Every structure is written in C-alpha cells, then in structure tokens.
Amino acid sequence: MLKSIIRKEILNNLLSYKFSIIIILSTILILVSIFVMYRDYCLALDNYEILRQESESVAVIRPTPLSIFARGLEENLCRSYGGGSSARIGVSSKQQSVNDLFKLFTALDLLYVVKVILSLCAMLFAFDMVSGEKEIGTLRQSMSNNLKRPILILGKWIGGFISFILPFFIAVLLGTIFVTLSPMVEMSARNWAKLGLFLLSSVVYLAVFFSLGLLISCLTHHSSASLVFSLFVWAIFVFLIPNLGNILAHQLVRIPTVQRLELRLEQSSVRRDFEKHRADESQHGRIDNRIRAENEKLLDDYRNRLNRLVKVSQNITRMSPLAAFTLLATDAMGTGVAEERRLKRAVLQHRDIIRDWDDEKGDRPVFSYRRSSVKEVLDQGGLSNFLILILFNVLFFAGAYVTFLRYDVR
C-alpha cells in the first residue's frame, strides 16, 4: 500500500505544473551560479599566482575549487597576510572579483540557491499536499477506502520529496560534470568527500522546509490560506531570525569598531616614535618590545571579543535551519568561519617562527596550510549543526503526522 501511494504521488507530481516550473528554475539557476562562480574561481587562481610572488607577503593560500559551490569567506581566506608586528591582513590591490556585484549582494553560488530559492520552492511544492486535496475532494475519496492515515501521510511525504529533489540532483550533476571537465579544477578525494557532505546537508535542509510545508498544509483547510501562511513562516526562518540574531548578538557582546582599533594602534606607533626620539639609542629595542607587547595585548583582546561575538551570534541564529545549514555547508567546503579562524592561527604561528628565525640557519620556512578534512569539520561544530537540521526535520514531520491523524477530511 505504501509503495502504491508513493508511486501515485510521484506520477501526479511529474505531470503537475509545479514540477515543470521547479525543474526549469532549479536547472537554470544552478547552472548559471556554477558557471559564474567558476569564472570567479579562475580569476582567484590568477590572483593567487600574483600574491604569492609579492615580497611583503608572508602567507597566502590557494583557492579551493569547492568555493565554486559555496563561496563563503573565500575572498578573506585567500588574501595576502603581511608580516607586520600585528599580523594584520594586507589585501593586495591586484585582488579582484570577476563579478563586482559580489560587493553589493550575496554571491549567487549554489549555497545561496539552495538556502533561499530552493527552500521556498520546497514549501511551495508541499503547501497544498493535504489542504489542496481536501478542496478538490480526492483526500476524502482516499480515506473512504480504509486507507490508514499514517501510511497515507508517510507515502505523501516520501513521494512528494522524491519528486521535488529529483530536479536538484539532475542540475547539480550537470554542473559538477562541467566543473570537473575543466583543466583549471583539480578535485582531490578529500574535496569529493566534502562535496558529498555539502550535498547531503543540502538534502536534509530542503527536507526541513518540505516537512514544514506539509505541516502547514495539515494545519489549514484551504490552499490559499496555506500558501500565505507558508510564505510568512518561510520569511521568518530565512530572513527575520538570522538578522535579528546578529543584531541581538551585537547588543550582548560589545566590540570596538575596526576604525577605533586602527586608531589605537596608530597612536601606539606615534608614541613609540616619540619615545625613541627622546631616549638613548640603546633603549630603542626595549621601547619597541614594550609597544609591541601592548599592541599584541590589544589585538588579542579584540580577537577574543570577536570570537565571542561570532559564537553568540551562531548560537542565537541556529534557531533557524538556514543558519545551521549555512555554517555546516561553508565549513564543509572549507570557506567558513571556523576555517578562517584556523587559518589566522596558522598565520600567527608562522609569523612568530619567521620573526625569531636566524638567517644563519638557511632559507626561511615557507608557509603551508591544508584545509580541514571532513572529520575535522564535524569535530569543530559541523556535527552539531547537522543534528540541528535532523531535529528540525523530526519536529516538523512529527507535527504534520500528529496533525493529520486528527485532520477533518470532509
């Protein structure tokens, strides 16, 4: 009986206008996003070759091909790190993006298409699965055949989600084939594993909004009301909660602005020059060390506050599945906040080694960095974000299941 319901749902959906619209929309958006981000990745490779030849550059890492699918903080990660006492990022003027609109809007990568556009499509695909059938009378006919409600709602979910996710896999497969056939892209086994984690998390994330749409359909008796309610709830989860979470985090954790930090560092530099001018030449080294220690203390305090702000913001915004998915996806692709924090720690350690290096030992060591593996991504918070997505799925489907058991099909 369950197989018959699943088959019926799939056939009905394949012949529906919703399936045609979604397969056309998802295919166009996914392929366009992959092509645009591939062009940006090729330019990032050219920037990398230029930046690593700069004499003042201490550290610069190679762009990852996974940024084609989830750009995240890749532009920050691939900057040139200078060798000053504060280890601040020195961004080369040669760095640029193939699409200047990235500076104004969020990059149209696969991650954005999934978390915003396809999440809306998932809810629109499921919003009338119950209320719509009640309006046309087919739901009452199905229940008149002694069909058990748990089997019916489970079959509807499985058949409906298979119909919805099929166009996504087709479009991603075509885009991946295009990327891997390019000589500019080198995908290692580690990258394939991380791409697999990204796609798995995308499926789970889209299932959250599909289950939410089904729940709303079970809570209403008219498809029009279900549609309005679905759009309202989608806007709350996708836009309202993440933005309010960031605003609330800034209120809870006070952090000085970058301009204020730069001003205090500049004042320290002026004070150092003034004291060196008044002091004997034999005291210049002691003055430099003291000012450097004060600057390091100031920067450490700023980093600690910034890390605490990020942590609080993440914890609050995880009330939305979008935040949990974004954190998991960008960390999995090596372009997330955790990766940036990990890289900066490696740069600071390398800077300390170079600063204390004795040239008599030979050539200075070259900076090397390897992005996190799948295991490291899961250990540093990825697993908790994945479990949050699973929890949202269980809650929304359980709500739809319980509600449908008491649903009036007349």
Digit-coded pLDDT (tens) for 222-245: 888 989 999 999 999 998 888 888
Long-range contacts of 381-385 (CB under 8 A, 24+ apart): 381/327, 381/331, 381/338, 382/197, 382/327, 382/328, 382/331, 382/332, 385/318, 385/324, 385/325, 385/327, 385/328, 385/331
- pLDDT recorded at residue 247: 82
**CA 313, CA 15: separation in Å to the nearest integer?**
44
Q: What is the three-class DSSP state of 333? A: coil
Whether 139 and 217 have beta carbons less than 8 Å apart is answered as no
φ and ψ of 128, to 5 deg: -120, 20
Write the DSSP string, 286-320: HHHHHHHHHHHHHHHHHHHHHHHHHHHHHHHHTTS
Q: Name the token pair of 19.
A: 């399936």
- pLDDT recorded at residue 150: 86
Nearest to 111, CA basis, from 318, 314, 322: 322
**CA 11, CA 13: separation in Å to the nearest integer?**
5
- pLDDT recorded at residue 82: 62
Sequence-ordered strand ranges (E) for 57-139: 57-59, 81-82
**CA 260, CA 328: separation in Å to the nearest integer?**
32
pLDDT by 10-residue block (mean), the chain, 410 residues: 84 83 86 90 86 68 90 81 50 46 62 92 88 81 76 90 90 90 88 94 95 92 89 92 83 74 67 61 67 74 78 84 92 89 83 70 76 89 92 94 83
Per-residue DSSP letter, 89: B
Q: Hey, what amino acid is at 166?
A: L
- pLDDT recorded at residue 143: 72
